[in-house]
Amino acid sequence: MVAPLTDEPKSPTGRSEDMASAMSSGRGGRGDTVFRAVAAGAGLLVLVVLALIAVSTTREAWPAFQEEGIGFLTSTSWDPAAGEFGALAFIYGTVLVSIIALVLSVPVSLGIALYANEAAPKRLRKPIVYVLDLLAAIPSVVYGLWGVLVLAAVLNDQVYVRFNDWFGSWPVLGWFFGGSTGPRSFMTAGIILAIMITPIITSLSREVIATVPSAQREAAYGMGATRWEMIRASVLPWARGGIVGSVMLGLGRAMGETIAVALVIGSFPQITTHLFEQGDALAAVVANQFGESSGTHRAALVGMGVVLFLLTILVNVSARAIVGHFDRRSKGA
């Protein structure tokens, strides 16, 4: 390693490590060297797999990238039979359903996280966390099954048709609620995703909120604040970075969710602001069409995987960066 040892922050085990290495300077150090190398190898596997994912999927998708050029990202025309592979409508669908999911899920997740940490009676706190874990444990395909066979029809009959009636011809609301309606739509996919990412955002932001020092809370209470004023003055500013980070991680999860979306989005690629119409998304189309594809069509589907991989890496890295930035700031203060 290039950096001088003294500059390295001490690991928690620093002292005893020194003692151990001082004692093992004689015979038998080989066991340690081997074990260390094996452990390091296992850690490095993570880097190897990530690099392999990028390289091997890009190579497999290359024929499609070559044929379509930048059109792969900018063209909306998707017609495997005619050899046209533009992914823009799918990228749009992925982004749109993820945004719907966030808009619906963030207020709910934050509310639960604040309730579980700040407002709920003590004996209720553990059960709340437990129940959310169960919500998170249900496999995505089961949500998809319920979504397509139960929820979609209920939403369409009870909600979409009415919203379409009321607001369909209004100036601004008409963009979202106008057009046609159907059980399988952007909105249904967004709602299913919202249900699936709520436990994730809740548990991550709950952990952040739990790190707010009680002195902060008591200071606000000491000034005569109500609980809500205390939350706004003490809890939210302190936890802001972590909360933004958890929301971004939830976004990453929503973009990559496949099976539930594949079942309820309608599998009809189009770019429209009408939320109650059918659409398609990156992960969903891969799951739905991969089995019947071949040649450039299959390459294009792998290419959508590459786009999805890059999008989620981008979202995840920025989430970690945001959390790290706020972490450093609050520790420095």
Partner 1 sequence: MSEPSVVDESHRLLLEATTSRGRRVRNKLATVWMVGALVVALIPLAWVVGYVLIKGISSLDAAWFTEELTATTRRAGGGMGPAIVGTLVITAGATIMAVPLGILGAIYLNEYGGNGVLARVIRFMSDVMTGVPSIVMGLFIYTVYTVNFGQNGFGGSLALACLMLPIVIRSTEEMLKLVPDELRQGSYALGNRKWRTIISVVLPAAFGGIMSGVMLAIARAAGETAPLIFTIGAARAFNANLFEGQMTALSTQIFSNARVPFPAAQDRAWGAALTLVAIVFLFTVAARIVSARVARRHNA
The interface with partner 1 within residues 48-87 (CB under 8 A) comprises 49-50, 52-53, 56-57, 59-60
Cβ neighbours for 146, distance < 8 A, ≥ 6 positions apart: none
Q: How far is the CB of 331 from partner 1 (least distance, A)?
A: 15
Helix (H) / strand (E) element for 79: namely: strand 78-79
DSSP state, 133?
H
> 84 — phi, psi (to 5°)?
-110, 120
Counting contacts by CB under 8 A, is residue 31 touching partner 1? yes
Counting contacts by CB under 8 A, is residue 255 touching partner 1? yes
**Gyration radius of the chain's alpha carbons:** 25
Helix (H) / strand (E) element for 96: namely: helix 88-114
Counting contacts by CB under 8 A, is residue 142 touching partner 1? yes
Counting contacts by CB under 8 A, is residue 226 touching partner 1? yes
Residues 78, 304 contacting (CB under 8 angstroms): no
Site string for partner 1, 308-327 (x = CB under 8 A): xx--xx-xxx--x-------
DSSP state, 81?
G
Sole binder of partner 1 in the list 68, 78, 98, 144 (CB under 8 A) = 144
Counting contacts by CB under 8 A, is residue 26 touching partner 1? no
Specify the stretch interacting with partner 1 by CB under 8 A; choose among 70-78, 80-88, 131-139, 158-166. Answer: 131-139
Helix (H) / strand (E) element for 246: namely: helix 236-256
Burial status of residue 129 (CB atoms within 10 A of its CB: 0-12, 13-18, 19 or more): middle
For residues 46 and 52, give the distance between their C-alpha atoms in angstroms, rounded to a whole number: 10
Contacts of partner 1 in 103-122 (CB under 8 A) = 107-112, 114-115, 117-119, 122
Find residue 85's DSSP bridge partners: 78
Sole binder of partner 1 in the list 96, 97, 102, 286 (CB under 8 A) = 286
Counting contacts by CB under 8 A, is residue 141 touching partner 1? yes
Q: How far is the CB of 65 from partner 1 (least distance, A)?
A: 14
* CB of 24 or CB of 270, closer to partner 1: 24
* CB of 141 or CB of 271, closer to partner 1: 141
Find residue 79's DSSP bridge partners: 84
Counting contacts by CB under 8 A, is residue 198 touching partner 1? yes
Counting contacts by CB under 8 A, is residue 281 touching partner 1? no
* CB of 87 or CB of 195, closer to partner 1: 195
Best CA proximity match to 262, nearest among 232, 292, 287, 227: 287
Q: How far is the CB of 96 from partner 1 (least distance, A)?
A: 17
- In angstroms, what CA-CA distances link 255 with 91, 196, 230, 285? 10, 12, 34, 13
For residues 260 and 189, give the distance between their C-alpha atoms in angstroms, rounded to a whole number: 7
Specify the stretch interacting with partner 1 by CB under 8 A; choose among 161-169, 176-184, 227-235, 271-279. Answer: 227-235
Counting contacts by CB under 8 A, is residue 157 touching partner 1? no
Sole binder of partner 1 in the list 249, 275, 300, 322 (CB under 8 A) = 249
